[in-house]
Amino acid sequence: MVQTEFQDEMLPNPNTELEADVTFRTAEALQKMARLDPVSGLSNRRQFVEDFGFGLSTEANSEQNVIVLLTLASTEQFTGIIRALGHNFVDEVVRLGAGRLRAVLPDEIRLYHVGAQSFAFALNLDDETETPRILETLEQVFAEPLMCNGIPIRNQVGIGLNRANGDLFEPSEALRGAFVAAQDSRSGNKSWAWYDKGSDQAHLRSFRLLADLGRLMDAPDQVTAAQFSLHYQPKINLATGGCCGVEGLMRWTHPNLGFISPIEFISLAEATAMITPLTRWVFRQGVTQRAAWHRDGINARISLNVSPVNLAEPDFADFVLETCREKDVAPEMMEIEFTESAQTMDCELTLAQLSRLRDEGVRVAIDDFGSGYSNMRYLRSIPADALKIDKSFILTLDTDEKNRKIVPTIIDLGQQLGFAVVAEGIETAASYNSLADWGCNEGQGFFMSKPLAEPVFRDWYSTCSHSKVA
């Protein structure tokens, strides 16, 4: 009996084999599905990486192979379509784009859906100096809008090409490079673009700076202060020659990259959420410095730059005034400078906060007046105390006759509207004297002083003639 039972146990169980087969087939189907994009039905990025993990080709001319990546639209356009028409509509746009692309590619070329709106394929080029005919075809077919549910969608196609690097070829990195090239083609209004290492390094540098900026904002004060500082450029009362204030300008000395221009990192911060903690760090430092100067008898108002983004933050005015109270600094000893923009002038919250800050004593200045937006319609009602003439007018004041007519007009207009007028970019005695003769209230520039580190500013201040804060 025991032997029979043992023999029965050793016999194959048809139900078990069936279950194993079903399990295997299910796993196989799931793996296959994991390599297909659910919207287009094309092989996805995972499949691309697997297919090309050991190089594009084993052919002799494989080093001439390239990855071509096509994006259907800019991120802004793609997002706008989603907001207006929804995800299902966008999915249909993507399917139509994939179909149009597949229709013009030779059958032997495998097409991959490697991003929400990005497709990639590989080409063999015998001569990279010649434009692949397929690119000309793509330019032609995507010149026509995609008709989706009766709505024409204008294409903003970007096409990037990236050379394979032989034994060093890495699929994910190749796709990233092709994507960078596609963005370059769109931003440069070109039909397509080759991957450019210099352009890519600039993008990578920007990413690194933003990442490092974020870490510094979260770091202890002493760590942040080791890299960040404020330098102070004196403002001169042109009637008396005395120092009536300073503009606090941020400086970043990176431990590996050295000096980082504010033009570079401030613009990066403004494009991200980093501008909020960055501006608030600057303001806290400026108010703290103003408190120290008060104790030491330095009577100079500190002016700090804020972004239109900051002015649209609901609690920005609260932050400014609370910081002044914490450090026992009179609001009258602080000034904010902002660049006039459509975003600023069309935001009720922004205008309300500017009005509140002025009512509490903070001086408000319109920066870079005369360049960019400078809408005269708003000038009569904008809540500000001072108008800063853009330095592009001042730098050429000695040689440009048109500027010698424009600048006195701006000074007269500003003062008639109740603004104190400030000129920045004064670099010669002739410019200084002209501005003083025209009645300009204040000025700053290298002729008087470059931006100075705080200890150097103290020495400068102790040797210059002083006037009260106007």
Place of tokens 């015998």: 126
Query: Which distant-in-sequence residues (6+ apart) come within 8 Å of 59 by Cβ?
Result: 124
CA–CA dist 427, 432 (Å, integer): 8
Q: Could you give phi then psi for residue 178, rounded to 5 degrees?
A: -65, -35
Q: Say if strands 193-194 and 158-163 run parallel, antiparallel, or are unpaired.
A: parallel
CA–CA dist 444, 391 (Å, integer): 10
Grouping H, G, I as helix, E, B as strand and the rest as coil, residue 118 is strand
Is the pLDDT at 14 greater than 60? The verdict is no
pLDDT for residue 196: 87
Whose CA is closest to 97, among 119, 66, 123?
A: 119
Amino acid at 66: V
pLDDT for residue 62: 47
Grouping H, G, I as helix, E, B as strand and the rest as coil, residue 365 is strand
Containing H/E element for 442?
strand 442-444
Does the pTM of the predicted model rise above 0.85? no
Is the pLDDT at 215 greater than 60? The verdict is yes
pLDDT for residue 468: 41
CA–CA dist 284, 322 (Å, integer): 10
pLDDT, average across residues 161-184: 82
Model confidence band, residue 245 (pLDDT cutoffs 50, 70, 90): very high
Model confidence band, residue 275 (pLDDT cutoffs 50, 70, 90): very high
Q: Could you give phi then psi for residue 29, rounded to 5 degrees?
A: -65, -40
Whose CA is closest to 395, among 339, 437, 439, 447?
A: 447
Q: Could you give phi then psi for residue 58, rounded to 5 degrees?
A: -100, 5
pLDDT, average across residues 341-370: 86
Place of tokens 């400086």: 251
Is the pLDDT at 174 greater than 50? The verdict is yes
Model confidence band, residue 17 (pLDDT cutoffs 50, 70, 90): low
Higher-confidence position of 382 and 24: 382
Report the range of poorest mean pLDDT among 122-126, 214-218, 349-353: 122-126
Q: Which tokens sit at 381? A: 């009602």
CB atoms within 10 A of CB 320: 24
pLDDT tens sequence across 74-104: 888 888 888 888 989 989 999 999 999 999 9
Asked if 246 and 233 count as a contact pair (C-beta separation under 8 A), the reply is yes
pLDDT, average across residues 225-235: 96
